């Protein structure tokens, strides 16, 4: 696309030859090229956020020399009546590729081009005289500047995006491969672990820092396209929520799940912001399990498997679960093998627990530590109304909520039914 666009925007240069008033402006413009290069360098360091924290004379000189070269090439194109040459387009592509790999934001790169455009346009205006002929020539040259910069910035933008997408694809594959390898580290595999630690360092997983493993999934309604949603939407959103560049966040889509290695500090809030963005953009939810903190690549597997256990307990009401702190033994026992356990629940018990009024009565009774008055107050009922509902549960199921064994049976059945998919 860049090549086709380049041909279209350079055509005006070939058709319109520079006339005498334009030559005069170009001559005056050329005499100030060195001053303009300094102005571009100073403005870039002052205005571009990616450069302003860097107080480095070498960086200023690098920007000044680049601006001086670009201005000289621009003057050549004006005199020749052509657009950017293939060589200058290639040089700008290389610069874009280099800046992309240095993690300089694209906005910062384009901002620097716009600063140069602003300086050039201002100088053209200053070089023009006050008469109508000179002003007309300045307007024509300004139009050429727009055409010239459109060609450059198109080339730069496409090269930058191609580099980022290519690098992200390579990084994504490398991260997926590393996760597979980390889950297969054999006992006593210290040498193997050392090799994996070296690989991890370049992928956003510093084994010398404390991390926690995260597993997350999107709603079932997006499951058919969940891999694409995770790759192209959730991972970038998570990087934004963590306030880090995407390439620096160890997160990868694997078997319709998001696997991430994140700093435990602020991990819940970052996942919460990501889930909120997903709900706003796609009307879907995100459920996540967080494993315990670890340091070193050998701790990843245990944190990963505990994150998987936590994910099993995540629900719409509790979308983010941390293992092992937020998982009780009873919770795990009732969730494990729920498909088989559900077959053991009698139809009458299923029907009673599906009744919203009876289920609310049971839940409130348990939450109030079997105190009828407290449970009734929570439900805004008279205590006798709650006692009536508890009797109805006993009549319909054969299990009296006032007896410990029966209550345990009812609560277990409710947990198993709640844990069923769909």
CA dist., res. 260 & res. 253, Å (int): 9
Q: Which of 14-18, 117-121, 218-222, 329-333 is predicted with the least confidence, judged by mean pLDDT?
A: 14-18
Domains and their CATH numbers in the chain? 2-166 (1.10.490.10), 190-326 (3.30.70.270), 335-419 (1.10.10.2840)
pLDDT band at residue 8 using 50, 70 and 90 as cut-offs = very low
42 phi, psi to nearest 5 deg:
-65, -40
Predicted confidence at residue 329, as pLDDT, reads 66
Q: Which two tokens stand for residue 296?
A: 């070193």
Predicted confidence at residue 1, as pLDDT, reads 36
Select from 78, 68, 66, 65 the least CA-distant residue to 27. Answer: 78
Q: For the chain, state the CA radius of gyration.
A: 33
Predicted confidence at residue 184, as pLDDT, reads 84
Predicted confidence at residue 49, as pLDDT, reads 77
Looking at the chain, the whole-number percentage of residues with pLDDT higher than 90 is: 31
Q: Which two tokens stand for residue 390?
A: 């508890």
**Using CA of residue 60, residue 66, residue 72, residue 78, what is the dihedral sign?**
negative
Predicted confidence at residue 132, as pLDDT, reads 86
Q: Which of 207-211, 273-277, 331-335, 362-366 is predicted with the least confidence, judged by mean pLDDT?
A: 331-335
Q: What average pLDDT does range 70-86 have in this prediction? A: 85
Maximum average pLDDT range among 103-112, 252-261, 335-344:
252-261
Predicted confidence at residue 185, as pLDDT, reads 72
State yes or no: pLDDT of 422 exceeds 80: no
pLDDT band at residue 7 using 50, 70 and 90 as cut-offs = very low
State yes or no: pLDDT of 189 exceeds 70: no
Predicted confidence at residue 25, as pLDDT, reads 86
pLDDT, tens digit (0-9, with 9 covering 90-100), for 136-169: 888 888 888 888 889 899 999 988 888 876 776 7
Select from 238, 269, 275, 268 the least CA-distant residue to 253. Answer: 238
Instruction: Give CA 156 to chain center in angstroms.
Output: 23
CA dist., res. 153 & res. 211, Å (int): 40
């Amino acid at each position: 696309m860049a090549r086709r666009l380049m041909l279209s925007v350079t055509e005006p240069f070939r058709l319109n030859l520079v006339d005498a008033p334009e030559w005069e402006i170009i001559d005056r413009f050329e005499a100030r090229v060195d001053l303009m290069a300094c102005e571009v360098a100073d403005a870039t360091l002052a205005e571009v956020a990616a450069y302003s924290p860097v107080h480095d004379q070498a960086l200023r000189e690098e920007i000044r020399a680049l601006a001086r070269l670009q201005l000289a090439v621009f003057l050549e194109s004006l005199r020749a009546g052509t657009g950017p040459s293939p060589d200058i387009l290639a040089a700008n592509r290389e610069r874009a590729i280099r800046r992309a790999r240095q993690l300089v934001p694209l906005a910062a790169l384009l901002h620097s081009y716009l600063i140069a455009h602003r300086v050039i346009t201002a100088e053209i205006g200053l070089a023009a005289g006050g008469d109508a002929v000179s002003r007309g020539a300045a307007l024509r040259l300004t139009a050429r500047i727009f055409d010239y910069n459109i060609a450059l910035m198109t080339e730069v933008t496409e090269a930058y995006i191609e580099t980022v997408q290519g690098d992200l694809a390579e990084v994504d594959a490398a991260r997926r491969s590393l996760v597979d390898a980390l889950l297969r580290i054999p006992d006593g595999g210290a040498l193997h672990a050392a090799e994996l630690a070296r690989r991890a360092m370049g992928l956003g997983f510093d084994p010398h820092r404390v991390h926690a493993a995260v597993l997350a999934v999107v709603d079932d309604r997006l499951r058919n396209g969940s891999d694409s949603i995770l790759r192209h939407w959730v991972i970038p959103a998570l990087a934004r929520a963590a306030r880090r560049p995407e390439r620096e966040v160890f997160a990868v889509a694997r078997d319709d799940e998001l696997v991430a290695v994140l700093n435990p500090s602020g991990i819940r809030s970052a996942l919460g912001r990501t889930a909120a963005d997903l709900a706003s953009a796609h009307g879907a939810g995100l459920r996540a399990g967080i494993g315990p903190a670890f340091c070193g690549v050998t701790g990843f597997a245990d944190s990963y498997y505990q994150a998987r256990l936590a994910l099993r307990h995540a629900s719409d009401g509790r979308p983010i679960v941390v293992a092992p702190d937020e998982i009780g033994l009873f919770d795990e026992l009732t969730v494990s093998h729920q498909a088989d356990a559900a077959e053991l629940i009698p139809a009458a018990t299923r029907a009673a627990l599906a009744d919203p009024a009876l289920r609310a009565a049971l839940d409130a009774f348990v939450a109030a530590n079997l105190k009828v008055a407290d449970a009734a107050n929570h439900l805004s009922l008279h205590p006798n109304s709650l006692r009536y509902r508890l009797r109805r549960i006993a009549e319909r199921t054969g299990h009296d909520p006032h007896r410990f064994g029966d209550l345990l049976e009812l609560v277990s059945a409710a947990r198993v039914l709640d844990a069923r998919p769909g």
